[in-house]
Amino acid sequence: MAPTVKPLTVTPLSERFGAELSGVDISCPLDEATKAEIRAAQDRWGVTVWRDTGLDDASHVAFSRLFGHVELAPRHAGNPPRFSQPELFDATNIDAAGKIIDNPNRRLINAGNRLWHIDSSYMEVRSAQALLLCHEAPPVHAPTFFADTRSAYDDLPQAMKDRIEGLTARHCYFYSRMKAGYPTTEEELDAMPHAHQPVVLDHKASGRRSLYLGNHARDIVGMSREEGRALIDELNAWTAQDRYVIEVNYSAGDMSIWDNLCTMHRAGEFDDTTYRRDMRRTTIREAGVEAADDHFTTLFAASKRAAEASGGR
Ligand code: OGA
Ligand code: MN
C-alpha cells in the first residue's frame, strides 16, 4: 500500500507575506512532492513558520538540505562552538558553558541583530534561506520581526524605482555593528572587507524584485557618503513600515524560515542579561554560486576585530 500523503496546510500570517505551515512531520524524511510543496510555499510567502517541530540539531540540518547547500558556520578562535554540527550558527545569548553572555563587546555585537538586516549581505556570496530553530524561549516577548522587501519594492513611487534602478551598494558587517554602538571608526571599517550588491535584486524564485539593503549597507557606489546613506536610510525606513512587517514569536521547538533574498529581519528587544534565548540557525547558499565551504571564517579572519565577531549575522 502506498504511504498516506498528508496535505501541507498553509495559513497566511498577513495578506501578502508570511505563512504558517503545518500538516507534515518535518522531523522525518520527506518525499519529493512534499519537498516541492514546501519550497513553493517558501517562494510564495517569503517567511514560513513551523510549530513544535520536534527537530534536534541533526534533523534541523537534515531538513534544511531540501533548500540547497547548507553553509558552514564561521568558527572563531577563543569562542568554542556549542554544537557538534558545523552547519549550526549560534544566534543565542548564552556561551558554551550555558551562561548568559556578559562580555560587553559580544553583547554589542549581538545588539547589531536588533537592527534591520539581511544575513550575509556583506558577503559577495549571498545566503538564500535561513532556518532559525528555537531551543529555549525566554518567558518574555522576544520575537523576530520580518519585513517584506518585495512588496516594499512593488509599492515604491515610480520616480524612486527609476532613481534606484541599476544602483550598487557596498555592504560591511561592522558597519551595522558600529551603528549598534560597537566601538569602531569609519577608518577602521575602510580596511575591512565589503561586498557589492544590487540595491534592487531580481528574486529569481518568484520572478519579483526586492529591495536588498538593511543595515549592513554602508554606501552607494557613485554617490557621496552623505547622499548614499540618506538613500539607504530612506529605503530601509520605507521597508520597515508596519504594513510590510510581521512578527514571529517562539516556543521551544518552533522554527521560522526566511527567504533572505526577499526579506529583512531583526531580533526583538528583551532583557537578555536576565533571560536565556537559545536559537540555532542553518543557512542555505544562493543556488548556482561556487565558494569555499568555510568562506565566513575566511571573511572574519580578515577583519581586525575577528575574535569578537561571533554574535549575530
Ligand atoms: C539571525 C537573526 C534574529 C533572532 O539568526 O540571523 O538575525 O530573532 N536572528 O534571533
Ligand atoms: Mn540575522
Looking at the structure of the chain, the number of domains it has is 1
CA distance 221 to 117: 19
Question: Among 17, 26, 130, which Cα is nearest to 68's?
Answer: 130
Closest ligand to C-alpha of residue 130 is 1
Q: Is residue 313 part of a domain?
A: no
Residue 6, domain member (yes or no): no
Q: Whose CA is nearest to atom 5 of ligand 1?
A: 91
Residue 1: inside a domain: no
**What's the CA dihedral at 297, 283, 129, 28 to 10 degrees?**
170
Residue 137 CA: which ligand is closest?
1
- Residue 266 Cα to ligand 2 middle (Å): 6
Q: Is 128 in the pocket of ligand 1 (CB under 6 A)?
A: no
For residue 5, the model assigns a pLDDT of 61
CA of 119 to the centre of ligand 2 (A): 5
Residue 145 CA: which ligand 1 atom is closest?
A: 8
pLDDT of residue 3: 56
| 174 inside domain | yes
Question: What's 243's domain CATH number?
Answer: 3.60.130.10
Q: What is the pLDDT of residue 313?
A: 54
Q: Which residues of the chain have pLDDT under 70?
A: 1-6, 77, 302-313
The confidence score (pLDDT) of residue 19 equals 98
- Is the beta carbon of 73 within 6 A of some atom in ligand 1? no
Residue 267 grid coordinates: 531580533
Which residue's CA lies nearest to atom 6 of ligand 1? 313
In a domain, 7, yes or no: no
Name residue 19's amino acid.
Answer: A
Question: What pLDDT, on the 0 to 100 scale, is given for residue 259?
Answer: 98
- What confidence score (pLDDT) does residue 39 get? 98
Confidence at residue 307, expressed as pLDDT on a 0 to 100 scale: 41
Q: Which ligand sits closest to the CA of 132?
A: 1
Among all chains, which residue has been given the C-alpha cell 535584486?
A: 201
**Is the minimum distance from the CB of 144 to ligand 1 under 6 angstroms?**
yes
The boundaries of the domain holding residue 266 are 12-75+83-306
